[in-house]
Amino acid sequence: MSFVCWLDGYDPAQRARLGGKNASLGEMLAAGLPVPPGFAVTVDAYHTVRGHPEVRQAVVGLLGEVDLADPAALEELSAAIRRRIEQVPLDDGVAAAVASAYTELCERCQLDAVPVAVRSSATSEDLPDASFAGEHDTYLWVRGADEVLAHLTRCWSSLFTARAIAYRRERGYDHDVVAMSVGIQKMVRPTASGVAFTLNPRDGDRSQVAVEAAWGFGEGIVSGEVTPDSFLVDKVLGEIVQRIISDKAVEYRLGDGDRVERVEVDEARRTVPSLTDDQVKAVARLARRAERHYRCPQDVEWALDADLPGDQAVTLLQARPETVWSRKAARPVAAAGDPMASIVATLLSPLHTRGSSDTPGP
């Protein structure tokens, strides 16, 4: 039994012990996708707590008494169970393994008290619909081994949020149908970040990668507050075929106390491209690798990590399938057939021969 598993040593056979989120991070690393380094605290660690008599008793006892139709009562129940989980003493073996892995992560990143994300990664092999994506807790900017351990137990206890309890009850699932692995992953302090699509969102062209980028954290882009710089990269030639640099008036960056704050961008930097051409190409290559790995168009979140050397700074935060164009049924453009008929058609119909003709002008 091991309590800790490094993400870059991921073994698919271990999937059930790491949960979906960690497993997917492990897969990405194995595929050469540069996600931030980290390790998983396996479900074995969770079971040391879940199996603790006090916790067991709390779950069985309390659940029996509560009227789940009463929201206030449900909240109270959830809080009680979560308190119990967070308060039982942590297994020595778990504490030692996690603290030592955290120390190693600090060494790998060459940073003291490296800030990490502590992320729930629920296992639910048998119940694909019972993992409650986003329902479980994630803690950002956690620093130091003690804090990591404290947030680890909070992640575990998030299996018993009011909604999770209600959901399982509704479906008639046992409360042990889901277990919790936790991912401990380096936080990225981005100089710039953004999104990338492995197709041209304007016309669905699969030969292009669209990259959007702005200074600092991606919040501004996601909320629409910042008009990002926009690039189009040809996948095959690897060249930037379109470049629109925007006026980026605000950025989100890390302030004192690891708080993300909104600041005005200095006049001098506002209309400067937030990525160099080489960085744009690196983001596009990363998105393309993700697409090849998942075998379908991807919608990718990425960041340039200020802690990493320039040529390795592009980091993948998240990749998910692109949905808008991918849902459309693939329709063939033209059939192989009589080449002469096709040539006649070409001569007869107006040609759209200029690639840039439909790109927005200045």
Partner 1 sequence: MADRFPSPFEIQTPAGAEGWQELYTYSLPFSTDRREYEDSMFWFQDGVHWPEVLSPWDATFFEFALASLSQYNTRHYLIPPALGVDFRVLNGYAYLSPVGVADPAEIEARVPQFLERAGFYFQNWASLYEQWMGKIRSLIGEMEALSFEPLPDAEDLAVVTEGRGMGSGFELQRQYHRLVDLALQLWQYHFEFLNLGYAAYLDFFGFCKQAFPSIPDLAIAKMVAGVEVDLFQPDEELKKLARLAVASRVDGAFDQPSAAAVMEGLRASEDGRAWLSQWEASAQPWFNFSAGSGFYHTDEVWLEHLEIPFGFVRDYIAKLREGVDISRPIEAIRAERDRIVAEYGELLATDEDRAAFEQKLGLARVVFPYVENHNFYVEHWSHSVLWRKMRQLGGVLAKEGFFGGETDIFLLKRDEVPEALWDYYSAWAVGVKPRGPAYWGRELERRRGILTALRSWSPPPALGRPPEVVTEPFTIMLWGITGESVKQWLGAGDAGGDGILRGFAASPGVAEGPARVIFSADQIGEIQAGEILVAPLTAPSWAPIFGKIGATVTDVGGMMAHAAIVCREYGLPAVTGTAFGTKTIKTGQRIRVDGNQGTVTILES
Task: Give the residue with the Cβ less far from partner 1, 111 or 241.
Answer: 241
288: part of which helix (H) or strand (E)?
Answer: helix 277-294
Q: Between β-strands 314-321 and 208-215, what pairing exists: parallel, antiparallel or unpaired?
A: unpaired
φ, ψ of residue 58 in degrees (nearest 5): -60, -45
Of the candidate spans 93-101, 102-110, 148-156, 335-343, the one that interacts with partner 1 by CB under 8 A turns out to be 335-343
Choose the stretch contacting partner 1; rule: CB under 8 A; options: 28-36, 38-46, 197-205, 249-257.
197-205
Instruction: Determine the interface stretch with partner 1 among 54-62, 71-79, 82-90, 343-351 (rule: CB under 8 A).
Output: 343-351
Nearer of residues 193 and 208 to partner 1, judged by Cβ: 208
Residue 209 Cβ, how far from partner 1 at the closest point, in Å?
Answer: 11
Instruction: Choose one: 7-15, 147-155, 241-249, 263-271; the region binding partner 1 (CB under 8 A).
Output: 241-249
Residue 357 in contact with partner 1, rule: CB under 8 A = yes
| Residues 243-282, interacting with partner 1 (CB under 8 A) | 243, 277
Backbone angles phi, psi at 197, to 5 degrees: -115, 140
Q: Which of residues 80-139 bind partner 1 (CB under 8 A)?
A: none
Select from 74-82, 90-98, 162-170, 337-345 the region that touches partner 1 (CB under 8 A).
337-345
Check residue 355 for interaction with partner 1 (CB under 8 A): yes
Instruction: Report the distance separating Cα 49 and Cα 52, nearest Å.
Output: 5
Q: Is 201 in the site for partner 1 (CB under 8 A)?
A: no
3-state SS assignment for residue 262: strand
Query: Residue 295, interface with partner 1 (CB under 8 A)?
Result: no
Contact 221, 214 (CB under 8 A): yes
- Which one, 134 or 360, has the nearer CB to partner 1? 360
Minimum gap (Å) between residue 229 Cβ and partner 1: 14
What is the distance between the terminal CA atoms of the chain, rounded to a whole angstrom?
62
> Toward partner 1, which CB reaches closer, 185 or 198?
198
DSSP 33-76: --PPPEEEE-HHHHHHHHTSHHHHHHHHHHHHH--TT-HHHHHH
The stretch among 11-19, 54-62, 171-179, 324-332 that binds partner 1 (CB under 8 A) is: 324-332
Least distance in angstroms from the C-beta of 195 to partner 1:
18
Cβ atoms of 94 and 45 within 8 Å: the answer is yes
**How many angstroms separate the Cα of 158 from the Cα of each of 11, 32, 43, 120, 289?**
26, 31, 14, 8, 33
Distance of CA 121 to the CA centre of its chain: 12
Q: How far is CA 185 from CA 119, 181, 260, 321, in A?
A: 8, 13, 18, 22
Q: Please tell me whether residue 239 binds partner 1 under the rule CB under 8 A.
A: yes
- Based on the shown chain and the rule CB under 8 A, indicate whether residue 140 belongs to the binding site for partner 1: no
340 belongs to the binding site for partner 1 (CB under 8 A): yes
Is the separation of the CB atoms in 123 and 20 below 8 Å? yes
200 near partner 1 (CB under 8 A): yes
**Using rule CB under 8 A, residue 312 touches partner 1:** no
Q: Does 360 bind partner 1 (CB under 8 A)?
A: no
* Binding-residue total with partner 1 (CB under 8 A): 47
- Does 362 bind partner 1 (CB under 8 A)? Our answer is yes
CA distances from 171 to 58, 130, 160, 167, 317 (A): 21, 9, 15, 6, 33
Read off φ and ψ for residue 151, nearest 5 degrees. -75, -25
Tell me if 326 contacts partner 1 by CB under 8 A: no
15, 23 in Cβ contact below 8 A? yes
Q: Which residues bind partner 1 (CB under 8 A)?
A: 200, 202-208, 232, 234-237, 239-243, 277, 330-337, 339-344, 346-358, 362
